[in-house]
Every structure is written in C-alpha cells, then in structure tokens.
C-alpha cells in the first residue's frame, strides 16, 4: 500500500520574510520596486539591532550602578574601621584602588550611555557620506519642506527611483549608526570586566586592612 505523502507544515517565524537574494538562483537584476522592498527589510532589521544594543547597554548601566554602590560601601566601611595605627602607604594604596575602581566604572558607564545615544549624531560624523533621506528621516524631511501642503506635494511627486535613493541613504545611516553604537557597547563591556576585577581587589584590600 502506497502512503500518501504528507504536506510539510508551514514554518512559523517572526516578522516579514527576508526578500530573496538576487545572487542566488536568479540571473535577472532586481527591479526598483524589489530593491525598495529589500532596503525596507534591512532598515527594519537594523532598527531591531539598534533596539537590542540599547537593551544590552541598559543592562550594563544597571550592572555598573551595582558596582558603584558596592565600591561606596567598601569606602565607607574602610573609613569607619580605619585605625590610627595604619601606615600612610596603606591609605595611599587604598586610595589608588578606590580611584581606579571609580574611574573604570565611570568609563564603562560613559560607553554604555553612548551605546544608547551617542554624543554626536551620525550625520555630524559622516556628513559627506549621507544624502537626503526625505520621508525616511524626520530631520531631513522637516528641513526639506515648508508646511503640510509642501510636504504633501513633494510626497505626491516622488517616484520609485527617488524613494529608492532616500531609502538607501537611510539604510546607510542605520549601518553607520549601528556600527558606532556597537563599538561603544563593546568598549563598555570590556571595561566592565576590569571594573569587576578592580572592585574585587578593592574589597580584598579593604578587609585585609581592617584585619591588620
């Protein structure tokens, strides 16, 4: 008895499916409409990556806040348990450990903040590389129109080629911005590792000084 082949269940996935890659299984180049759809998909993808970077940076901010609180507790404990018999070099070493821990925590905090919202905008850093992103960027859109009627007129005059140009400019901006924020996040994470070691060293030195 021959079994009837079963239909494969549809695979579930989040978001819209990725547009097909023109280099795989197709000889004809993509049309302008297909390129617009592909660009929009990548813009949405980089928006999600940017949100993910901000979430991880927020977690890192909280972790640094915990280390900063722990460092302050250790400093307060040392001040309360300090003995007049302590030598000057012990207090100098404690001050160096405390200052180092604080400096590393502040450096990691600064990197995490830049990963959420960098001090300089992407256009400020790459002004010569980013053309107008009309309709895809609120700043460029407001600078290009004079009121609602002008905005409606310019939108009505847009063609596929113009839309593709603006969307590609927005995608390039997203790529540059994600690269910038991810670089800040990696730097903050690497510094945070040294923060942990500095706080642990401060804790060991504090308790050793209290027992001496």
Domain boundaries, the chain: 54-211
Q: Quick check: 84 pLDDT over 50?
A: yes
Highest mean pLDDT, choosing among 25-29, 32-36, 90-94:
32-36
Contact 58, 116 (CB under 8 A): yes
* Nearby residues of 70 by Cβ (< 8 Å), 6 or more positions away: 199, 203
Highest mean pLDDT, choosing among 57-61, 84-88, 205-209:
57-61
CA-nearest of 57, 73, 58 to 180 is: 57
Q: Quick check: 165 pLDDT over 70?
A: yes
pLDDT at 153: 94
Would you state the structure tokens that stand for residue 184, as one six-digit string? 């800040």
Q: What is the pTM of this model?
A: 0.76
pLDDT digits (tens, 9 = 90+) for 200-210: 999 998 888 77
* Nearby residues of 18 by Cβ (< 8 Å), 6 or more positions away: 41
């Amino acid at each position: 008895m021959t079994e009837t082949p079963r239909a494969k269940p549809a695979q579930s996935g989040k978001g819209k499916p990725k547009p097909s890659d023109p280099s795989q299984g197709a000889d004809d180049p993509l049309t302008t409409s297909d390129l617009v759809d592909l660009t929009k998909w990548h813009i949405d993808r980089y928006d999600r990556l940017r949100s993910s970077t901000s979430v991880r940076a927020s977690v890192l901010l909280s972790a640094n806040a915990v280390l900063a609180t722990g460092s302050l507790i250790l400093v307060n404990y040392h001040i309360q348990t300090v003995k007049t018999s302590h030598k000057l070099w012990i207090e100098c070493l404690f001050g160096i450990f405390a200052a180092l821990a604080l400096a590393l925590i502040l450096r990691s905090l600064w990197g995490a903040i830049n990963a959420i919202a960098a001090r300089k905008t992407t256009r400020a850093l790459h002004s010569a590389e980013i053309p107008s992103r009309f309709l895809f960027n609120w700043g460029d859109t407001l600078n290009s129109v004079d009121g609602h009627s002008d905005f409606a007129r310019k939108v009505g005059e847009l063609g596929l080629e113009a839309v593709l140009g603006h969307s590609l400019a927005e995608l390039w901006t997203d790529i540059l911005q994600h690269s910038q924020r991810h670089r800040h996040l990696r730097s903050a994470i690497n510094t945070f590792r040294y923060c942990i070691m500095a706080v642990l060293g401060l804790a060991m030195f504090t308790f050793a000084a209290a027992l001496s």
